[in-house]
Amino acid sequence: MATFLTSTAGLKFTVRRLPAVLVVPAAPTPREMNRLSDIDDQDGLRFRVPIVQLYRRNASCDGLDPAAVIRDAVARALVHYYPLAGRLRKLDGRKLAVDCTAEGVPFVEADADDVRLEDFGDGDSIHPPLPCLEELFFDVPAATSSIANSPLVHIQVTRLACGGFILAVQMSHTVADGHPAVAELARGAVAPTVRPVWARDLLLARNPPRPSFAHREYDELPLDDPIALPADELVQGSVFFGPQDVAAIKARLAPGLRERSTTFDVLTAFLWKCRTMALQLRDTDDEVRLGFAVSACHGKRGLCLPRGYYGNTIALPVAISTAGELCVNPVGYAVELVRKAKAEVDVEYIQSVADLMVLRGRPNFANARLYMVSDLTKIGFAGLDYGWGQPVYGGVATMGLSPIPWMSSFLIPCKNAKGESGIVVPLCLPRRAMDRFTEEVGKLKMRYSSL
């Protein structure tokens, strides 16, 4: 159960970059100021999401330059997604808007003459942490740096010695929750199958704002965090869960809960428990939190947004427990907390978040003793085909998307070295805590395997 994967962090290489160029829309676009929604511009989403996609050589594409193909597709996509060619501006009340200037997207093409795709991992088992990100991303600003007045998207295409290539994209999370339709245009489509829709006014705060939930995810907590450590004291790792692992954890749940719980429910609860045990907090009465993104577009109580809406539609509820209760209770205890937090999210919950943003000046998430898990298994990065087939790996490039790398993990579709499909979860912990985490996972493995 839960195999720990080897890392390629020791791989070192350098790339040769051409100067960055600005890719502008391939046709004239509207010049306007588009306000973001009050879900888009909350403080906790004001960062750039680094995404990498690694592609094999495709003999049918020999003679084609992936950088040129993607650059042309970006220019045509920006006609439809023209706000992405603009710049963010700050308005009164910390409100953000996109100034649709058509200035363009910085684009760099590069070559890595000394590295091949297989150097990143065996077969389809490539996973974070990926090495030498500073070579794959030509501009990697600090997560805390201002996103105002800077490009919304940065792109680098790096050609590899084997004929494959790496596409690295940084996108402002405030503007888009996902990937623009560049891939289908690169394959020859004249226009995106689904036309993009802005419509951010549909998720603005009410007048007057009237939050209707407690929203513990935005609690005002003390800034000191007993598990905060300098980055140089942290180690990175990845753990792989196959279908049998998930089934073994589910088998230990109470009847009824077992049938109602999703793979996400089970894995996030399992990880939260093991991680908390590994951290060995001194005060067992300390509150620990598990945060996760829930889209409010699904289910009977989901948002009714137009097809093609590409803004943020997520809430970030939290499950809360004392460290002691989480550690001594079975995994089912944590699963129940996850399910309860998820169940709150509906149309009213999202509206309540938008209202709270305006009333409280767009607060950040309460980070103290928080573990944030994001489900990327259905987001689509792993299936984007630019003409070279699906990527060997497509997803986040790094362990954390904030200045606090130990705070977050991702559920990413992946295959192990044996070719088995499953979910890989990267995480970052202090070295001793990582050793204990491995031990705790092993203990639960023995317990569950004995069924």
Q: Which residues are catalytic?
A: 173, 385
In terms of phi and psi (left: phi > 0; alpha: psi -120 to 50; beta: otherwise), the region of 256 is left
Q: Which residue matches tokens 């003679």?
A: 63
The two structure tokens encoding residue 352: 């309540």
Alpha carbons 33 and 21: distance in angstroms, whole number: 24
Alpha carbons 54 and 168: distance in angstroms, whole number: 9
Burial of 143 (0-12, 13-18, 19+ CB in 10 A): middle
Q: Which residue matches tokens 């939290």?
A: 318
Alpha carbons 396 and 85: distance in angstroms, whole number: 22
Q: β-strand 370-375 against 408-415: which pairing, if any?
A: parallel
Alpha carbons 112 and 130: distance in angstroms, whole number: 15
Q: Which of 33, 98, 112, 107 is nearest to 70 (CA)?
A: 107
Give the C-alpha distances (Å, rounded to integers) separating 337 from 146, 264, 265, 331, 410. 35, 13, 9, 10, 19
Alpha carbons 329 and 261: distance in angstroms, whole number: 17
Q: Which of 437, 418, 436 is nearest to 426 (CA)?
A: 437
Looking at the DSSP assignment, which residues form a beta bridge with residue 53?
A: 167, 394
Give the DSSP letter of residue 151.
B
Taking the alpha carbons at both ends of the chain, their separation in whole angstroms is: 13
